Amino acid sequence: MATIKDVAREAGVSVATVSRALSGAQGVSEEARERVVAASRRVGYRPNAVARSLRMEATKTLGLVIPNVMNPFFTAVARAVEDAAQEAGYSLVLGNTDEDPEKEARYLDVLLEKRVDGILMSPARAESAHLEEVARSGVPVVFLDRYVEAVDAPVVRADGRRAVGELVGCLAELGHERLAVISGPTETVSGRERLEAFLEGAKARGLPVADRYVKVGDFRRESGELAMRELLALEDPPTAVFAANNLMALGALRALDAVGARLPEDVSFASFDDVSWFELMKPPVTAIAQPIAKLGAAAARILTEVVEDGTRPESVVLEAELVLRGSCGPVGRSA
């Protein structure tokens, strides 16, 4: 592969002139510039970004560390972040942690060694000694959706409290008294927030949720399926179930399907996170939608700002929105 030296030789100038000519710096005669451009084309020159990065101490690369791209929420995040990164001239390195703190730590180490200019992440746990150390090393970090309290970095997320409260309100108005929730891990911020909002909302409406109606999953499909099976097996099964994310909702819907439960006659159902196919279901599934594209774009924008200007921007909190659909209906036609 041709180097800057080859171009210099071919054009009959020094490497400094080549560098200046190609980077568009001033102080290069028009004639030299043309010769360099022609020579560079002739030898098929492609600047070596590795060498440039070493010299410039910047890689024009960002790291995105998320639990799993297969989760539609993070798929959309990845897409939005990649778009914004690309727009700002950055490449994106992707890592899936599978909610495993050790895998997360390994990814972070790799990203630091690769000297990425910044890291965008959704940590597996609310506490992470390793991440604190990473932050201390000085790489700009922006949290997406979830965050680690002890790390002083901007957070970009959607607040679901209001929307969850609204959902509980609707269910209460529809006459539901046996509310159940399939929660995410309480170690995660979003898991805890959604659970608390649900429980508090219910209590505020005089509908305290019994412990047996609270199932804690791990944000993955299987746990949602299992939780729903357990709920349905209760003597007095709930009349309305709220799943705290889309994967567990998928599992829960499978479990409902398996026993032939009719929505909303037998059970009302709602999910946190909206996905494209919810509205195609019979009945369409009520969901709380996060402004994912905006979140991803904001996160990437903030990160590039920190990287380039060294500023310390504010966190961003957007509102999640309740999207009421047919899967929530009046209680008890079959009870």
Partner DNA sequence: CCAGGTCTTGTAAACGATTACAGAAATCTC
Partner DNA sequence: GAGATTTCTGTAATCGTTTACAAGACCTGG
* Binders in 289-318 for a copy of itself, by CB under 8 A: none
Cα distances from 225 to residues 56, 171, 249, 258, 333, in angstroms, run: 51, 22, 8, 10, 24
Burial class (CB in 10 A: 0-12, 13-18, 19+), 29: exposed
* Binders in 171-210 for a copy of itself, by CB under 8 A: none
Nearer to a copy of itself by Cβ, of 66 and 195: the residue is 66
In angstroms, the CA 54 to CA 76 distance is: 32
- Shortest gap between Cβ of 49 and a copy of itself (angstroms)? 4
Nearer to DNA by Cβ, of 36 and 253: the residue is 36
Cβ neighbours of residue 78 closer than 8 Å, sequence gap 6 or more = 64, 66, 69, 92, 94, 296
Interface residue with a copy of itself, options 78, 121, 144, 151 (CB under 8 A): 78
Question: Containing H/E element for 17?
Answer: helix 15-23
**11, 18 in Cβ contact below 8 A?**
yes
In angstroms, the CA 81 to CA 57 distance is: 23
- Shortest gap between Cβ of 48 and DNA (angstroms)? 3
Interface residue with a copy of itself, options 13, 33, 36, 96 (CB under 8 A): 96
In angstroms, the CA 326 to CA 179 distance is: 17
- 18 counts as binding a copy of itself under rule CB under 8 A: no
Work out what residue 27 binds among DNA, a copy of itself, none; the CB cut-off runs from 5 to 8 Å by kind. Answer: DNA
Interface residue with DNA, options 10, 17, 82, 134 (CB under 7 A): 17
* Binders in 23-82 for DNA, by CB under 7 A: 23, 25-32, 45-48, 51-52, 54-57
The torsion angle over the Cα atoms of residues 117, 120, 125 and 126, rounded to 10 degrees, is 90
In angstroms, the CA 302 to CA 311 distance is: 9
Nearer to a copy of itself by Cβ, of 30 and 57: the residue is 57
3-state secondary structure of 52: helix
Interface residue with a copy of itself, options 14, 19, 68, 315 (CB under 8 A): 68
Work out what residue 97 binds among DNA, a copy of itself, none; the CB cut-off runs from 5 to 8 Å by kind. Answer: none
Q: What x/- string results for residues 45 through 64 when contact with a copy of itself is judged by CB under 8 A?
A: -xxxxxx-xx----x-x---
**Token couple for 297:** 């774009």
In angstroms, the CA 122 to CA 128 distance is: 12
**78, 71 in Cβ contact below 8 A?**
no
Number of residues that bind a copy of itself (CB under 8 A): 49
CA torsion through residues 150, 155, 160, 161, sign: positive
Work out what residue 138 binds among a copy of itself, DNA, none; the CB cut-off runs from 5 to 8 Å by kind. Answer: a copy of itself
The residues of the shown chain that bind a copy of itself, judged by CB under 8 A, are: 1, 44, 46-51, 53-54, 59, 61, 68-70, 75-76, 78-79, 82-83, 86, 91-96, 109-115, 137-138, 221, 250, 253-254, 257, 275-277, 279-282
The residues of the shown chain that bind DNA, judged by CB under 7 A, are: 1, 3-5, 12-17, 19-20, 22-23, 25-32, 45-48, 51-52, 54-57
